[in-house]
Amino acid sequence: MAAGDLPAGRKMDLEEATGIIGQMARAGVGGISFSAGEPFLYIKEIAALVKLCRQLGIYTRIVTNSFWAKSPEISDPLVSQLKQNGLCQLRLSYSRWHQKHVNGKNVLNAAQSCQKFGLDYFVSFVTDFSEEDDPYEQFLRDHDITFFPEPVIYAGRAASFKRRRILTDYQANCCDMNPYLTPDLDMVACCDAGSHFSETDFFYLGSLKDQPPEALFAKSETDRLYNLIRIMGITPIASFAGMQSREIITYSKCQLCRKLFNDPGTLTRLRGEVSRLEAWHR
């Protein structure tokens, strides 16, 4: 996972990535997702890493914006090659923001190549649930494409987007929290939204340059607040922290998470009261 502010063209060295995948396999990692920036910029290297993962019994997914799938003639051989190398799933990012730069037809080509070669895929339809997104959703429905709507995460390049005050159910907002690794070998405990909690570095686990993966995974699995996010969910934590329930339901999950855990004062208080929080259940 590359943070958005890396200089263009920076990436993890192939040999280093190969070594890290070996380390990950020894640490018991069962799945790797090759994610943002855009993995298809380095498709030969990614394809080799996918092959290695298959040899090591690791499930693989690539997340892409489909910029490369300009026609079925281009898309078919690439998808077929990845399938042969053992790729398990292709996740296609799609939204009115992505489609300012990439023709929606490309996403269709990539999806149809997956259908043709039997590669598991889905379209991740990033949306702020506004009417503007209706034609984008309809396009997917019209072409019988498997898709799942995903709320836009207001971080990274989307940080400047105007937050829409939504009303959600009073739901728990639990999170699995899979660790992410940057090209600089920093590991964070959650997705790219979490890597942007710059006030507190709440999700920062450490660097693979200093510690083996087992130590970083152990940190992720034993942090008491992380575990409360996994088990209890962010909503009860927000209520415990003093947020009004009427306000809580105006936040999407990652924004609520940010409000709590990217605030140094709130975080210190939650860390201090973690035992009482752990007993905060009905």
What is the binding site for ligand SF4 (CB under 6 A)? 175, 177, 190-191, 193-194, 229, 234, 253-254, 257
Which residue lies nearer to ligand SF4 by CB, 20 or 254? 254
Q: For the CB of residue 190, give the shortest distance to ligand SF4 in the complex, in Å.
A: 3
Q: For the CB of residue 51, give the shortest distance to ligand SF4 in the complex, in Å.
A: 30
d(CA 123, CA 148): 6
Q: For the CB of residue 153, give the shortest distance to ligand SF4 in the complex, in Å.
A: 7
Which residue lies nearer to ligand SF4 by CB, 38 or 223? 223
Q: For the CB of residue 76, give the shortest distance to ligand SF4 in the complex, in Å.
A: 34
Which residue lies nearer to ligand SF4 by CB, 56 or 243? 243
d(CA 125, CA 33): 18
- With a CB cutoff of 8 Å and minimum separation 6, the contacts of 138 are none
Which residue lies nearer to ligand SF4 by CB, 38 or 192? 192
Q: For the CB of residue 172, give the shortest distance to ligand SF4 in the complex, in Å.
A: 11
Other beta carbons within 10 angstroms of residue 143's beta carbon come to 15
Q: Are 106 and 69 in contact (CB under 8 A)?
A: yes
Q: For the CB of residue 12, give the shortest distance to ligand SF4 in the complex, in Å.
A: 22
- The 3 state secondary structure assigned to the chain is CCCCCCCCCCCCCHHHHHHHHHHHHHCCCCEEEECCCCHHHHHHHHHHHHHHHHHCCCEEEEEECCCCCCCHHHHHHHHHHHHHHCCCEEEEEECCCHHHCCCHHHHHHHHHHHHHHCCEEEEEEEECCCHHHHHHHHHHHHCCCCEEEEECCCCHHHHHCCCCCCCCCCCCCCCCCCCEECCCCEEECCCCCHHHCCCCCCCEEEECCCCCHHHHHHHHHHCHHHHHHHHCCHHHHHHHCCCCHHHHCCCCHHHHHHHHHCCHHHHHHHHHCHHHHHCCCC
Q: For the CB of residue 52, give the shortest distance to ligand SF4 in the complex, in Å.
A: 28
Which residue lies nearer to ligand SF4 by CB, 40 or 203? 203
Which residue lies nearer to ligand SF4 by CB, 41 or 174? 174
Which residue lies nearer to ligand SF4 by CB, 54 or 230? 230
Which residue lies nearer to ligand SF4 by CB, 83 or 253? 253
Q: For the CB of residue 261, give the shortest distance to ligand SF4 in the complex, in Å.
A: 7
